[in-house]
A and B are shown apart, each in its own frame.
Chain A
Amino acid sequence: MKTMIAGLALAASIFALPAFAADTANIWVRADGSNFMPRIVDAFNKAHENQIKLDIIPNAEIIPKYGAAAAGGTAPDALSLDLIYTPAFSAAGQLEDITDWAKSLPYFASLSPAHVKTGTYKGRIYGLPFSADSSVLIWNKKLFKQAGLDPEKGPANWAEIEADAEKVNALGGDIKGFYFSGNCGGCNIFTFTPLIWASGGDILSEDGSKATLDSPQLRGAIDLYRSMVKKDLVPAGAQTDTGSNFFAAFAAGNIGITPSGAFAIGALNTQYPNVDYGVTFLPGKDGGWSSFAGGDNFVVTKGTKKLAVVKEFLDFAYSLEGQTILAKYGSLPVRGDIAKEALKDLDPRYQIAAEAMAKGRTPYTVVFNDLINSANGPWTQMVNEVFFGDDVDGAVSNAQETMQSIIDQAPQK
């Protein structure tokens, strides 16, 4: 039998009949996925005739590279794409419509809703969830204990965040109460907006057509951060941190509280086993909680000839085996129905992140990059100004105006 298959494969390669040959599909992932992606690709390649060739692209470069490659006709067959970009990619007509296949999946209804929402454009599905990451609040139990706080209880509202941070900060020396990346749009949409959402506000309207920065909830959250900066609870480096220290600051062990993501659980456990930390939800002003549902959507380049291989791979990723591999190496499961099972042997703190994921929100806009992520965009500029600058009103109204004009200028299709 083996020889026959081999013979067939040989014949296929000679007569160039791709339908019979083992195919290789090329997939890209951004560097954030460099932990779990190679593992799941390895597992797939070992168990399947068809193969996946994986390329890991630096985070900031994956989109320009994909665009250039698509223009030159050398795009990969599929990529694991930051889910917030799926609307823009779908709008550009770059992606394969996979609605029918997606809806035929028996577990379609239990796939992460935030992913499916961003993966849907004008009623058609172009992206399906692949990896997931939700924002949470983490605190250093050792420092809490030293500061006389209950190490098992994280802050549950804004007042508690500030009070706890202040107590930890009082330990002095290199120890600081709170950390955030003050010059990073992506970090703050991930960890700062949930504070607003949990209090009932939002920065964009539901359909992404209006910027809604002028809200008391945003002001309240700004005041919280400003007050902590003013009391010197935050290290000086935060003001210029463009995200490169987003995680490392807490991992060094001298920060009391920081908003972070589910990825931190895996990264802390493997790279910084000495840091004893707790995980809780990002709270609203007076309690309640919210989270940013982030991660990657799996999208297929329009017109690829390797669709079958790509589907086979995604099937594998959605299997319990695939979901377990993902969970083990730093992504939350994206199938709600088997999430508990995939996580059962792992750190129980993942359960909180998974719960946050299930209820998490994601802004929907085709100009996410220009509005939010760009280091020179209005959101990044605003967070830096309102946290550290003097003119909060001016910064907010300026950002509101710029964001609205970017939305209005976006290509309407």
Chain B
Amino acid sequence: MAQARSRSSRLRLGIAEHATGMIASVLFLAPIVWTVLSAFKPSQEARLPPLPPWPTTGFSVENYGTLNTFGDGLWLPAQNSIYVSVMTVVFSVIVSVLAGYGFSRFRFPFKDLLFVVILSTIMIPFQSILTPIFLVLTKIGLHNTLTGLVCVYVTLQLPFSIFMMRNAFDAVPREIEEAARMDGANNVTMLIRVMLPLVWPGIVTIALFAFLGAWNEFLAALVLMTDQSKFTLPIMMTALQSGRFGAIDWGAVQAGVTVMMVPCLILFLLLQRFYIRGLMAGAVK
């Protein structure tokens, strides 16, 4: 009798829990779903409130066509964005794996100071040092180049990703390293052969972070890039936002937000196992 009651109350509790979970999930997913669906409305319909979210007067990719008429079209800024994001990922991974390894496994003069300085850059509102950054880029001949933008983005990623990588390396037991050293591995082979496979989730995490950061950043791109052929997608988005001739096209906005959002969502869904594991490994320390 008592058991039956407790089972039925557990069932009720379970149902209540899943109902809560479902409602919360819907709340979190709804804005995304709403935008992706609404983007497929014809542009006349896209001006009206999105009730219901899906197209009612026919499925259309007209909004993506509109998007393609801004500046140099959709493809060129998309290419630039992909290039910048991929390069940012590659370089921030290389730089922070090296630095994370260095900070975790070596002692050297000013080590703690350097670490704190790198971390503290996270507190600087980089909007306020954009003009000097621009001047520095000009000085070293990287102004108005995608490479220059990549350098800035990599630097922006460093505090977080070096912190993550140092923690990831710290979590690797020293015994593994010592065993490998006995087998005659030097520093570099040790890093590549022994350590990398062990900190893999951390690397995926910082790579994803770097991608998201570079893909979504708009203010630096806006101020630093002057050549239209080198604009990235977020710059195009600001054009959408201010509208043309005071005519904001909500359909194009939905399409633009979708274009910006979907690659991030797909990458996250593909990599989330590593990502969440890496994030947890980094945060626990």
Give residues in A with beta carbon < 8 Å to B. Answer: 28, 31-32, 34, 54-61, 64-65, 68-69, 71-74, 76, 181, 187, 243-248, 251-252, 263-264, 267
State the Cβ distance, B150 to closest chain A Cβ, in Å. 18
Return 23 A-B CB contacts under 8 Å, by A number. Answer: A28-B226, A34-B71, A34-B244, A54-B228, A55-B227, A55-B228, A56-B228, A57-B228, A58-B222, A59-B242, A60-B242, A68-B130, A68-B223, A72-B138, A74-B138, A74-B143, A74-B144, A187-B246, A244-B243, A244-B247, A246-B246, A248-B243, A267-B245
Closest to A72 in B: B138
B10 located at the interface, meaning its Cβ lies under 8 Å from any Cβ of chain A in the complex: no
Asked whether A71 and B135 contact (CB < 8 A) given A55-B228, A58-B238, the answer is yes
Closest to B235 in A: A58
Contact A243–B243 (Cβ < 8 Å): yes
Contact B222–A246 (Cβ < 8 Å): no
Contact of B247 among A28, A73, A246 (CB under 8 A): A246
Separation of A69 and B242 alpha carbons in the complex (Å): 22
Closest to A190 in B: B246
Give residues in B with beta carbon < 8 Å to A. Answer: 47, 71, 130-131, 134-135, 137-138, 143-144, 222-224, 226-228, 235, 238-239, 241-249
Q: Max chain A CB contacts within 10 Å: which of B47, B134, B138, B245?
A: B245
CB contacts (< 8 Å) of B246 on chain A: these are 181, 187, 243-248
Separation of A205 and B202 alpha carbons in the complex (Å): 64
CB contacts (< 8 Å) of A65 on chain B: these are 222-223, 226
State the Cβ distance, B54 to closest chain A Cβ, in Å. 22
Contact of B242 among A58, A76, A252, A267 (CB under 8 A): A58
CB contacts (< 8 Å) of B245 on chain A: these are 32, 246-247, 263-264, 267
State the Cβ distance, B244 to closest chain A Cβ, in Å. 6
Closest to B230 in A: A55
CB contacts (< 8 Å) of A54 on chain B: these are 228
State the Cβ distance, B229 to closest chain A Cβ, in Å. 8
Separation of A264 and B135 alpha carbons in the complex (Å): 40
Closest to A245 in B: B248
Separation of A263 and B144 alpha carbons in the complex (Å): 32
Contact of A71 among B47, B134, B228, B244 (CB under 8 A): B134
Contact A245–B243 (Cβ < 8 Å): yes
State the Cβ distance, A78 to closest chain B Cβ, in Å. 14
Separation of A140 and B239 alpha carbons in the complex (Å): 28
A59-B242, A72-B134 given; name 20 further pairs at CB < 8 Å: A28-B226, A32-B244, A34-B71, A55-B227, A55-B228, A56-B71, A57-B228, A65-B223, A65-B226, A68-B130, A68-B131, A68-B134, A73-B138, A74-B143, A74-B226, A181-B246, A246-B246, A248-B47, A248-B247, A251-B247
State the Cβ distance, B147 to closest chain A Cβ, in Å. 15
Separation of A74 and B239 alpha carbons in the complex (Å): 23
CB contacts (< 8 Å) of A248 on chain B: these are 47, 243, 246-249
Separation of A356 and B171 alpha carbons in the complex (Å): 74
CB contacts (< 8 Å) of A181 on chain B: these are 246
State the Cβ distance, B228 to closest chain A Cβ, in Å. 4
Separation of A61 and B222 alpha carbons in the complex (Å): 8
Closest to A54 in B: B228
Contact of B47 among A57, A59, A74, A252 (CB under 8 A): A252
Closest to B44 in A: A252
Separation of A65 and B131 alpha carbons in the complex (Å): 10
Contact A69–B226 (Cβ < 8 Å): yes
Separation of A72 and B225 alpha carbons in the complex (Å): 12
Separation of A54 and B71 alpha carbons in the complex (Å): 11
Separation of A73 and B138 alpha carbons in the complex (Å): 8
Closest 10 CB pairs of A and B: A246-B246, A72-B138, A244-B248, A248-B247, A244-B243, A247-B246, A55-B228, A247-B247, A58-B239, A68-B134
State the Cβ distance, B74 to closest chain A Cβ, in Å. 15
State the Cβ distance, B202 to closest chain A Cβ, in Å. 36
State the Cβ distance, B195 to closest chain A Cβ, in Å. 41
CB contacts (< 8 Å) of B228 on chain A: these are 54-57
Contact of B143 among A34, A72, A252 (CB under 8 A): A72
Closest to A34 in B: B244
Closest to A55 in B: B228
Contact of A72 among B135, B238, B241 (CB under 8 A): B135
State the Cβ distance, A331 to closest chain B Cβ, in Å. 12
Separation of A67 and B135 alpha carbons in the complex (Å): 11
State the Cβ distance, B133 to closest chain A Cβ, in Å. 10
CB contacts (< 8 Å) of B137 on chain A: these are 72
State the Cβ distance, A178 to closest chain B Cβ, in Å. 16
Contact B143–A267 (Cβ < 8 Å): no
CB contacts (< 8 Å) of A243 on chain B: these are 242-243, 246
Q: Max chain A CB contacts within 10 Å: which of B137, B223, B244, B246?
A: B246
CB contacts (< 8 Å) of A264 on chain B: these are 245
Asked whether A267 and B247 contact (CB < 8 A) given A55-B228, A68-B131, A74-B226, the answer is yes
State the Cβ distance, A9 to closest chain B Cβ, in Å. 24
Q: Max chain A CB contacts within 10 Å: which of B130, B228, B249?
A: B228
Asked whether A55 and B226 contact (CB < 8 A) given A71-B131, A244-B243, the answer is yes
Contact of B223 among A34, A64, A76, A267 (CB under 8 A): A64
